[in-house]
Structure 1
């Protein structure tokens, strides 16, 4: 592979960078780390809700990427391949600790691609910031009541904004199962959110 400058490397796609890394360009790996470290931290924090665990998982994910670079094939998006490694590590940690705490859905301002989940509510309070905080609090409570199977795919789809085929690859589930779990998880979320927003209708 021909020599390439750092400036040109920075303009490469993730997949091109992996090919350069496989060819021996360590700088390509460093650029991938720089691109994804914040997004990966945000992604993993939603599962651990523990900064130290999250930092450890981020480092371990990149270590696995480094060691397994020659197993990567361009038929898969780099991000999908990396998220699969990260999710498997998070699940292993969960099994080891036998716990999974709350999932946060707050927007990470350091990640330009991170988006908060939108909540439809026509009863807008005069204080928009207070209204948004209440919506997010309700959503966090509802997410934490979902089973891990439903929560996992809903977070990947509605919080991380991943495509269905990426979620299928990351979770190693059939496309039909992914869509079914997302739909069922959303339906449960809707019921739970209604119980928080309109508690009087539940007790009536």
Structure 2
């Protein structure tokens, strides 16, 4: 392995940095933290919906990465390995606190198997901000009613925009199951939100 060049640390890929870190180069670890702290914070906030819990989880994830550096093998992408650690920590916390998630649902145009989630609301609101707020509240409520297996893959896919292969590696389930859970979860969310809209209309 070539000598570590601190001046060009930003030019190394994640896996190289992890290997240098395993060989005692703390600066390599610092660069990994710099690259992923914001993405990790964004990801974990959707599980906790609490900034303090999120900060604690981010710190705990990097602490685990630091302590477990020698368990990492280069055959896996560093990001996949790190997200697996973060997901396990988040799931553990979620089971304790049952926080709400926020997600953005989209359809991958490049994948013919990807099912689009259509959020239709017959209620017309003049205030766009209020309309968006109500739609998000409906989405959060529906998401909380999904089985946990569906919630986690939707967050990884639609919020973090990870590939099916990466999600399969992180969750340790077959890629076909990942796609099926995402599509079934989106279908359930769509049906639930339609029910909420109908209930609101009837109540009015």
TM class by smaller structure = 0.7 to 0.9
Spell out, residue by residue over 1:49-87, the C-alpha distance to the aligned partner (whole angstroms, 9 max, x if none). 222222222111111111211221222111110000111
Instruction: Return the offset for 1:23.
Output: 2.2
SS of the equivalent of 1:86 reads helix
Q: What is the match of residue 148 of structure 1?
A: 148
Q: What's 2:105 paired with? A: 117
Out of 99, 102, 105, which is 1:104 matched to?
Answer: 102
Q: State the secondary structure of the residue aligned to 1:101.
A: coil
Give the aligned partner of residue 87 of structure 1. Answer: 87
Runs of 5+ consecutive residues of structure 1 not aligned to the other structure: 106-115
TM-score normalised over the length of structure 2: 0.81
Provide the C-alpha distance between the structure 2 equivalents of 1:70 and 1:48, rounded to a whole number of angstroms.
29
CA RMSD of aligned residues (A): 2.5
Q: Looking at both structures, which has the greater relative contact order when contacts are Cα pairs under 8 Å and sequence separation is at least 6?
A: 2
Q: Distance in 2 between matches of 1:170 and 1:177?
A: 13
Question: Quick one: structure 1 residues 151 and 202, their matched pair in 2 at CA, closer, same or farther if it must change by over 3 Å?
Answer: farther
Structure 2 spans left out of the alignment, 5+ residues: 107-117
Aligned residues of 1:21 and 1:28 also touching (Cα < 8 A): yes
TM-score, normalised with respect to structure 1? 0.81
Asked if the contact 2:44/2:54 (under 8 Å) is kept, the reply is yes
Tell me by how many angstroms 1:130 deviates: 3.4
Q: Deviations over 1:160-196 (max 9, x none)?
A: 2111111111111122222221111111011012223
